[in-house]
Structure 1
Amino acid sequence: MTTIVQITPEIGPGTGVGAVAHHLEQEWQRLGVDVRRFTLAEAGGAWLPQPRGGLGGRLALVGRVVWFSTVGTARARRHLRAHPEQLSVCHNDAMAGDVYVNHGLVEAAMRARGHHRLRLARNPLHLFTTTRDRLRYSRTGTHRLVVNLVADEERLLRELHPRLALPTVVIGNGVDVGRFRPPTDAERLMARAELGLEAHERMVLFIGNEFGRKGLPLLIDAVQALGPGVRLVVVGGTPDLVSVEAGKAASAALGDRLEFAGAHPDPRPWLRAADVLAMPSAYESYGLVVLEALACGVPVVATATGCVPDVVMDGVNGAVVEATSDGIARGIASVLALEPTAVRAAARQTAEQHSWTTVARRYLDVLTGLRPSPGAPSSLRGGAR
């Protein structure tokens, strides 16, 4: 039996990168794979607090990232030496594992927003992670293969790390098409009633925790221009981020047309009520929420980042827009003008082509290819791309 260990600080639904590991774990288990975990608990860091809002939350995040990058690396390597039969996938922080999944490039995110050197310099955690990852990508013994989520991310990786010493492959994320599905008419009516939406009102949904990088200020301006029949609901963000954004003049100008719901592990109640998901990000390594929205039959208006160019089709299941308030407003208006039944069906059809079952099998093929039969060289060794 094949045994795979996933190395990442946490694993579970609604945990960002940890949710990817969670879905892969479920699908591999269905395929008869023995799946193990190496998380913060196995790295001896269970005592570290969960990041919350404010300064304490930021310090907790720093502690967890640094611990898993250092102590976690040492303990993960020790575990792998003790279990040479296990194939390994690293999703975050630790510099250990056969395969490293590139879930995002901090330097690329900073460059996309401008003044990247200043942004990096004023955040010690960003300096730490970029230095760590320069070592990760320039050394041949750290990993055996890098998985990028989209082709554009692979291009950025090679631009930022011209001394890249590892072979790479592109494997996108998936979506749980059973859990994320279009609501029944009754479910949609109930979800909209709980949000106090009138029958004539159209709801724009934003889901994300990094308001600046993900373009929320631009979206607020765009919704302001769309008129009184359009409301914006924001799911995500720490309490301090929400407080800052809600206190801005642009947010105040929207009045009761803007609602901050806070962070929630399950976005489905809001997706059931939404008419469109807006994601005008400056940078995304993938953008899993895009697939989750499409799976729920919600069209997407987004900038051409992450998976968006591959899954969003103008006038069919959404719109790809420029990162300006005018461009976002035009995109939302054009999608809201589409025939609802057709656009929701097209959104669902797109998502069904990206199930986690398909993605898990792709990973399994790559992982088993890393272990050649005796005397046979692996095709993925020595610079395959």
Structure 2
Amino acid sequence: MTRIVQIVPFIGPGTGVAGVAWHLQQELQALGATVEVFTFQSARRGRSTPRSSRNTILARIRGGWRMIWFSTVGTRCAKQYLAERPDAISICHNNVVAGDVYVNHGLLLASMRARGRSWWGIYRNPVHDFIYLRDRIRYRGRTHRVAVCLSEGEADDLRATYGPIGPRIEVIPNGVDLDRFRPPTPEERAAARSELGLGPDQRVGVFVGHEFSRKGLSFAIRGLAYGPSALLMVIGGNDEIIAEAHAEAIEHGVGDRVLFLGVRKDLPHHLAACDFFVFPSAYEANALVVLEALASGLPVIATPVGFAPEIVRDGENGYLVERDPVAVGARMEELATLDDESFAALRRGARASAEAYGWREVARRYLELAERLEAERSGAGTDAASADRTTG
């Protein structure tokens, strides 16, 4: 039986890195593996974690402190933890510089360059300097045996950012909960739309994300001027950036066609009210939400970043577009005015394209990787023992 240790700052059902690790844990266990988890809390040995703050500045300071602490002290603690489990294959998801496998959930430098930041704009922040140096050690050295990238594009970004990579690169995309994210029944759709005051014939696009700037909400809002038949629902953000986005919508004369919902935990319920997904992001390592939208039967309008160019096919399950309001708006208008039969075919294509990426199948690929690493380790041990006998 394969023994796996996941190293991750936090783990739990939901979104982001914590959710990825949680889904992998559930499915790896279902496949017969033994799975343990080493977290920020494990490294602190049960001491309480500082509470999160509603103050944005304090939250950033605490988040930066946790990241640096888990990258340094947490690395030492994780190595001790793994030394006590020499038979385990370890999968590290963030911060800690230890583990057989490192899952690259994103590259800060690639993300900032994609948004047009200058080198000075990047490196004047000491936290950015720390991350660059930490990850240069991670990627140029031999700490990890394998670096998992979540898309082919991210593998290219990794090489472009750090040059020759020490660990070998394998691409395993993220998965999606195909039971939770699914096309709604007519009753579910009607109920979700009724709650939001949407008419049965209105075509509604949806944007989901907390970083409005990087994920391109502005292009979707301005795109409404070129997609006069569409409405836009926005899920995510905080009071400050929602106010800024609302002001932009009013400035461009589309304020009455944008519905800001803020953070919503029951994402499938709200996706059930929508007709297509809009995501003109500048940078993504994978973007779980693209898979979640497709699995929910929503055609996707997305820029060719992250996993989108590997799964979105023009006219089959959505469209790839430039990060330009005219291009985004034109596709929004096309979907908003498409006849019902053609639109239903797009929705079926969206769901079908996501079905190969259930978490069970993704976990199977991680388990196969772990088993190969086990075999390589055993083979290396056998070769070393044989060499010792020959020398003797």
Q: Provide TM-score, normalisation by structure 2.
A: 0.91
What are the superposed Cα offsets for residues 94-135 of structure 1, whole Å, 9 maximum, x if unpaired?
Answer: 111110001111111111111331431354433321221111
Q: Could you say which residue in structure 2 is the equivalent of 1:23?
A: 23
Cα–Cα, structure 1 residues 100 and 251, in superposed 2: closer, same or farther, change >3 Å?
A: farther
5 Å matches for 1:73-84?
Answer: 73-84=75-86
Contact kept? 2:221, 2:249, Cα under 8 Å: no
Q: Determine what percentage of the aligned residue pairs are the same residue.
A: 43
Give distance in 1, aligned partners of 2:334 and 2:357: 25
Cα–Cα, structure 1 residues 53 and 293, in superposed 2: closer, same or farther, change >3 Å?
A: farther
Give distance in 1, aligned partners of 2:114 and 2:175: 25
Q: CA deviation at 1:190?
A: 0.6
Q: Could you say which residue in structure 2 is the equivalent of 1:199?
A: 200
Q: Could you say which residue in structure 2 is the equivalent of 1:225?
A: 226
Q: Could you say which residue in structure 2 is the equivalent of 1:10?
A: 10
The one-letter code sitting in structure 2 at the alignment partner of 1:68 is F
Q: Could you say which residue in structure 2 is the equivalent of 1:155?
A: 156
Contact kept? 1:110, 1:120, Cα under 8 Å: yes
Contact kept? 1:14, 1:266, Cα under 8 Å: no
5 Å matches for 1:1-385?
Answer: 1-44=1-44, 46-50=48-52, 52=54, 54-140=56-142, 142-227=143-228, 229-248=229-248, 250=250, 253-336=253-336, 337=338, 339-372=342-375, 376-377=379-380
Cα–Cα, structure 1 residues 359 and 375, in superposed 2: closer, same or farther, change >3 Å?
A: closer
Cα–Cα, structure 1 residues 315 and 22, in superposed 2: closer, same or farther, change >3 Å?
A: same
Contact kept? 2:249, 2:258, Cα under 8 Å: no
Contact kept? 1:319, 1:335, Cα under 8 Å: no
Which piece of structure 1 moves more, 323-332 or 127-136? 127-136
The one-letter code sitting in structure 2 at the alignment partner of 1:57 is A
Contact kept? 1:204, 1:278, Cα under 8 Å: yes
SS of equivalent to 1:213: helix
Give distance in 2, aligned partners of 1:123 and 1:265: 32
Question: Per residue, is there more helix in 1 or in 2?
Answer: 2
Give distance in 2, aligned partners of 1:238 and 1:221: 20
Question: Structure 1: which 5+ runs fail to align?
Answer: 379-385
Q: CA deviation at 1:49?
A: 2.6
**Aligned Cα root-mean-square deviation (Å):** 1.9
Give distance in 1, aligned partners of 2:198 and 2:70: 44
Which piece of structure 1 moves more, 242-251 or 73-82? 242-251
The one-letter code sitting in structure 2 at the alignment partner of 1:126 is H
What are the superposed Cα offsets for residues 64-83 of structure 1, whole Å, 9 maximum, x if unpaired?
Answer: 21121112111111100111
The one-letter code sitting in structure 2 at the alignment partner of 1:105 is L
Give distance in 2, aligned partners of 1:151 and 1:180: 24
Cα–Cα, structure 1 residues 356 and 51, in superposed 2: closer, same or farther, change >3 Å?
A: farther
SS of equivalent to 2:366: helix
Give distance in 2, aligned partners of 1:6 and 1:373: 19
Which piece of structure 1 moves more, 57-66 or 105-114? 57-66
SS of equivalent to 2:43: coil
Contact kept? 1:11, 1:18, Cα under 8 Å: yes
Q: CA deviation at 1:53?
A: 5.2
What are the superposed Cα offsets for residues 319-346 of structure 1, whole Å, 9 maximum, x if unpaired?
Answer: 1000000010112222332522211111
Cα–Cα, structure 1 residues 185 and 77, in superposed 2: closer, same or farther, change >3 Å?
A: same
What are the superposed Cα offsets for residues 135-165 of structure 1, whole Å, 9 maximum, x if unpaired?
Answer: 111221x211100111111111111111321
The 4+ residue runs of structure 1 with deviation greater than 6 A are: none
Question: Structure 2: which 5+ runs fail to align?
Answer: 382-392
Which piece of structure 1 moves more, 246-255 or 330-339? 246-255
Contact kept? 1:50, 1:57, Cα under 8 Å: yes
Contact kept? 2:271, 2:293, Cα under 8 Å: yes
Give distance in 1, aligned partners of 2:61 and 2:375: 43
The one-letter code sitting in structure 2 at the alignment partner of 1:255 is G
Contact kept? 1:293, 1:300, Cα under 8 Å: yes
What are the superposed Cα offsets for residues 348-367 of structure 1, whole Å, 9 maximum, x if unpaired?
Answer: 11111111111111111111
Contact kept? 2:102, 2:148, Cα under 8 Å: yes
Q: CA deviation at 1:249?
A: 5.9
Give distance in 1, aligned partners of 2:17 and 2:23: 10
Which piece of structure 1 moves more, 291-300 or 15-24? 15-24
Cα–Cα, structure 1 residues 297 and 375, in superposed 2: closer, same or farther, change >3 Å?
A: closer
Contact kept? 1:7, 1:91, Cα under 8 Å: yes
Cα–Cα, structure 1 residues 373 and 121, in superposed 2: closer, same or farther, change >3 Å?
A: closer
Q: Could you say which residue in structure 1 is the equivalent of 2:385?
A: none
Give distance in 2, aligned partners of 1:199 and 1:375: 61
SS of equivalent to 1:273: coil
Contact kept? 2:222, 2:252, Cα under 8 Å: no
What are the superposed Cα offsets for residues 9-35 of structure 1, whole Å, 9 maximum, x if unpaired?
Answer: 111222301111111111111112111
Give distance in 2, aligned partners of 1:146 and 1:127: 21
What are the superposed Cα offsets for residues 184-234 of structure 1, whole Å, 9 maximum, x if unpaired?
Answer: 00000111111111223221100011111111111110023322x422111
Contact kept? 1:91, 1:101, Cα under 8 Å: yes
